[in-house]
Chain A
Amino acid sequence: MANHPLGSIFLLPNFTFVLELIGFLLVLGFVAKYVLPPLRKAMEAREAHIRGAIEAAEAARREAAETAARRREALEAARSEARQIVDQAAETADQLREEGRRRGQEEYERLLAAAQSEIDLERQRARDEVMSELGDLVLRAAERVIGSGLDDSRHRALVDEAIAAARPSGDRQGGGESD
């Protein structure tokens, strides 16, 4: 080789060039046909998987946000409804209390009036009784004083007249007491 005029020039290729080119093409064919496609497929599958996972996470996040919004809405609705119910209840209670108070007042006034009229009636009756008793007593006392023989009917009329004369002042006195 050293004797060859070009053999010692190391910058010139020899036949190794062709064989190495063939060798590289074989490796290139192997890599392109048997190594890269499954690798590519795995990479794409992983990318798709990751993309899917990200999308799923995004969907879950969106759903969670929607659920939270719905829950907040429902809570707000329930709260306002509760407030309404409480307001209504308070109003009803006010009405009932007012009604009760009013009824009590009426009942009280009715009872008071009834009692008053009964009292008046009783007093009237008592006075009438007392007056009639008084007439008898006065008559009997006068009989004792002036002895017997008083004309009963005549004197009786006198006494009644005296009583009747006395009544208006007694009535006035009685009316003033009742008020």
Chain B
Amino acid sequence: MNSLLLAFTVNPSAHITAKVFGLTVNVDDLVSVAVAGLIIVALGLVLRAKVTSGVPGKLQLAFESIVGFVEDQVRPMGEGGRFVVPIAVTLFIFILIANWLEMFPTTYPGHHQLLPAPTGDINMPAALAILVIVLVHITWVQKNGFKAYIRHYFKPYAALFPINLVEEIAKPLTLALRLFGNIFAGSIMLVLISFFPAQLVLPIPALDLVWKLFDGLFVGPVQAFIFSLLTILYFDAAVTGGH
């Protein structure tokens, strides 16, 4: 293990950075987020132009499938849960496209990856998870009142308060770290594959492609799906006022 680490150093925080108001900013991740956002905006504009109530195109069908799935999940919350639909849909699409950015071959030997998956850096998963959890807690208070919100930490027994508290704290952490860990691991794999001696397993480009297909077609969508599904579940508990 030690020799492996010595052989090639994998530095997960190797980002192109800049200072904004004296604060560190990962420029490459920011560019990736901007690219992902622009892709979504472009798709949204195309969809807006081509949207039809007749036979939908491929893009509209994809969007409708996502929206339909989310609406099915949100429906038990009733009218009070309608606001979750755009959040969950955008989360899914945004995370999915961000994950897929990893598949583009933008790494050049001796250089930084130009377009890393922003979900493979802690900043974006943390931002999304904290945003979701803050909104969930606000929803709790709005829908059930502050007293009920406080009381739910002591249910079903007051003795469970520490566990409930840990659970609430764990929610944003697990939400963020799950996504980050999976995508980050995928990118680590790509780095490791690039260090493999060519004669060891498959030729590197083939192995690289195999891993990217697995990561992109399986891990990426699954993580996007889990993130948005958990978001819906957390909102469900907040809207209905129960666990």
Q: State whether A14 touches B64 (Cβ < 8 A).
A: no
Q: How large is the interface on A (under 10, 10 to 19, 20 to 34, 35 or more residues)?
A: 35 or more
- Pick the contact of B127: A12, A24, A32, A43 (CB < 8 A): A24
Q: State whether A20 touches B51 (Cβ < 8 A).
A: no
A169 within 8 Å of B (CB atoms)? no
Q: State whether B123 touches A20 (Cβ < 8 A).
A: yes
CB distance from A11 to the nearest CB of B (A): 6
Residues of A20-78 whose CB lies within 8 A of B: 20-21, 23-28, 30-32, 34-36, 38-43, 45-46, 49
**Binary interface profile of B, 33-69, with partner A (CB < 8 Å = 1, else 0)?**
1101100110011011001111010001001100110
Q: State whether A28 touches B87 (Cβ < 8 A).
A: yes
- Pick the contact of B33: A4, A15, A20 (CB < 8 A): A20
CB distance from B42 to the nearest CB of A (A): 11
How many residues does chain B have at the interface if contact means C-beta atoms less than 8 Å apart? 49
Residues of B1-53 whose CB lies within 8 A of A: 12-13, 17, 20-21, 23-26, 29-30, 33-34, 36-37, 40-41, 44-45, 47-48, 51-53
Surface stretch bound by A, among B88-96, B139-147, B202-210, B218-226: B88-96
Chain A residues touching B, majority SS: helix
CB distance from B184 to the nearest CB of A (A): 8
Q: State whether B41 touches A16 (Cβ < 8 A).
A: no
A19 within 8 Å of B (CB atoms)? yes
**Binary interface profile of A, 119-151, with partner B (CB < 8 Å = 1, else 0)?**
000000000000000000000000000000000
B133 within 8 Å of A (CB atoms)? no
Contacts A23-B37, A28-B90 known; A16 to B51 CB distance under 8 Å? Answer: no
CB distance from A81 to the nearest CB of B (A): 52
- Pick the contact of A19: B25, B36, B89, B131 (CB < 8 A): B25
Residues from chain B with Cβ under 8 Å of A35 in the complex? 44, 47-48, 63
Q: State whether A23 touches B26 (Cβ < 8 A).
A: no
B215 within 8 Å of A (CB atoms)? no
**How distant is the Cα of A31 from the Cα of B94 in the complex, in angstroms?**
10
Q: State whether A17 touches B53 (Cβ < 8 A).
A: no
Q: State whether B30 touches A16 (Cβ < 8 A).
A: yes
A175 within 8 Å of B (CB atoms)? no
Closest residue on chain B to residue A8 by CB atoms: B13
Q: State whether B20 touches A15 (Cβ < 8 A).
A: yes
